[in-house]
Amino acid sequence: MKHDEEAWRIEHIVLKALSDETFRQQLLSDPATSLRAQGVPIPQGVEVRILEDTENVRYLVLPVKPPSEELMEEQLRKYGRPG
């Protein structure tokens, strides 16, 4: 699945969780199964955790570090350096 398509699916899932309490509870209780049912590929053996922001707590998820610094430099060039 392409990154853009996966991002679109995740956005759709978040919106569905905000408007459908039953789906939200399923997503919180069994995230991998819920995501697979929505077409997001989750490999067997991969654990998925859902973190829910509150009024006083916000989460920032850092992705897995790329295997090489060269890839990281390429991404920084593509998306620009902050600052």
Q: What is the pLDDT of residues 41-75, one digit of tens each?
A: 999 999 999 999 999 999 999 888 767 666 666 66
Name the percent of the chain in helix, strand, coil, to the closest 5: 55, 0, 45
Q: Over 80: is that where the pLDDT of 24 sits?
A: yes
Long-range contact list for 24-33, CB < 8 A, 24+ apart? 28/52
pLDDT of the residue at 1:
64
What's the pLDDT at 72? 66
User: Do 49 and 43 form a contact (C-beta atoms < 8 A)?
Assistant: no
**pLDDT for the residue numbered 70:** 62
Q: Does an H or E element contain 10, and which?
A: helix 3-19
Q: What is the Cα–Cα distance from 43 to 41, expressed in whole angstroms?
A: 6
Whether 82 shows a pLDDT value over 70: the answer reads: no
Give the model's pLDDT for residue 12.
Answer: 95
